[in-house]
Amino acid sequence: METTIWTFSLSVPFAEWAAIYDSEDVSKMHKAVGLTSLFRGVSKSDPSKICAIQQGPVGVAQKIFDDNKEMIRGSGHIIESTVISTYAEE
């Protein structure tokens, strides 16, 4: 099991991005691969900066990201701004 922290910028308002991230389709995709969304929120000082935290099997969050970049980009997520930090349970 690992926890992945994503920080990135948006090209759309947070509410627009969150509606896609929280959608039934994305929830089903996450559930199918064992990912749980623990948190997603917007920076209090910069409304274009986002943090999302997911937990799941080792490597799954990164694979979903790598395999779905165009769909993710379509949500307003600026792919090039993404910083990924991954932590594993020992």
Tell me the C-alpha distance between 28 and 34, whole Å: 10
The total of structural domains in the chain comes to 1
Within 13 A of 44's CA, how many CA atoms are on the CB side?
0
Q: pLDDT (tens digit, 9 = 90+) per residue, 21-76?
A: 999 999 999 999 999 999 999 999 999 999 999 999 999 999 999 999 999 999 99
Confidence (pTM): 0.91
Q: What is the CATH number of the domain that holds 78?
A: 3.30.70.100
Which residue range is the domain that position 63 belongs to?
A: 2-88
